[in-house]
Amino acid sequence: MKQEYAVVTKKLAVVVLISGGGSNLQAIIDAMHHHDLPIEIRAVISNKGTAYGLERARRANIPAHTLNHTDFPDRISYSRALQELIDNFKPELVVLAGFMRILPEAFVDHYMGRMLNIHPSLLPEFSGLHTHQRALKANALEHGASVHFVTNELDGGPLIIQAHVPVHKEDTVETLAERVLEKEHKIYPLAIKWFAQKRLVMQGNHANLDGIPLDKPIKYPG
Ligand code: GAR
């Protein structure tokens, strides 16, 4: 009998977490609207009511929610409430797009293999904060951005894709951040697309793309 291949038509249910400007969120929304990203963003959640990304969500008719971490006595109680809010939307993928809170172990375990993050450095270089400033201070010749699955190791989960940019002598934190951000807007929608197409999964401590465990991240543009 002839083998029929399954065509994935159902859109992947996604919740996006933000803390700020939401330019990565915008890149994801734009990719959705150009029909090459088969996802449905069911909610955008921010830990800050002033995050401009909330406005971007509303403009795209996506439910926008604020869950302010300062309304909770500690990290654990905040993360429990956040998990409850997220799970109302039944996401198949949680996308951290500039969400600047450290997430406790139980929260990360709950979304293991279905939570992605974007980080503005070539991990494992410059995990943590102030990556552009630190790259400049270290006289790095190149810098970039990484998309990875989230695990309990801070910025240390399995790498999926990285984009490299040159560092110029005259760069400031702002010019370097802008060059990196432009690449972030390319690699995040791409990684999310692979996940939505079921081409990308987390297996053990590896990202697996098209059935092959990645021993190093895909280098954008290839
Ligand atoms: C991006 O540069 C993202 O990589 C970074 O925050 C910025 C958010 O920008 N994330 C982290 O530093 C996470 N550790 P955006 O709000 O315009 O998307």
What's the average model confidence in pLDDT over 35-50?
96
Rounded Cα gap, residues 91 and 104, in angstroms: 19
CA 34 to ligand 1 center in whole angstroms: 23
**Ligand 1 nearest-atom number relative to CA 26:** 18
Within-domain flag for 200: yes
pLDDT (0 to 100) of residue 1: 47
**Ligand 1 nearest-atom number relative to CA 22:** 16
Residues in the chain: 222
- For the chain, the average pLDDT equals 95
Rounded Cα gap, residues 177 and 151, in angstroms: 25
pLDDT (0 to 100) of residue 217: 98
User: Is pLDDT above 50 for 136?
Assistant: yes
**Ligand 1 nearest-atom number relative to CA 128:** 14
Q: List the domain range (segments joined by +) for residue 105.
A: 12-219
Substitution candidate for ligand 1 out of 17, 23, 24 with most atoms within 8 A of CB: 24
What CATH number should be reported for the domain holding residue 147?
3.40.50.170
Are 20 and 48 in contact, with CB atoms under 8 Å apart?
yes
Question: Predicted confidence band at 36 (pLDDT cuts at 50, 70, 90)?
Answer: confident
Within-domain flag for 3: no
Q: Which long-range contacts (CB under 8 A, 24 or more apart) does 212-215 make?
A: 214/158, 214/159, 214/160
By DSSP bridging, strand 142-149 and strand 115-119 are antiparallel
Structural domain count of the chain: 1
Percent of the chain with pLDDT strictly greater than 90: 94
CA 77 to ligand 1 center in whole angstroms: 24
What's the average model confidence in pLDDT over 24-41?
95
Question: Predicted confidence band at 61 (pLDDT cuts at 50, 70, 90)?
Answer: very high
pLDDT digits 0-9 by tens, 62-115:
999 999 999 999 999 999 999 999 999 999 999 999 999 999 999 999 999 999
pTM for this predicted structure: 0.95
pLDDT digits 0-9 by tens, 167-196:
999 999 999 999 999 999 999 999 999 999
Residue nearest (by alpha carbon) to ligand 1 atom 5:
98
CA 208 to ligand 1 center in whole angstroms: 24
Within-domain flag for 1: no
Question: Predicted confidence band at 222 (pLDDT cuts at 50, 70, 90)?
Answer: low
Within-domain flag for 4: no
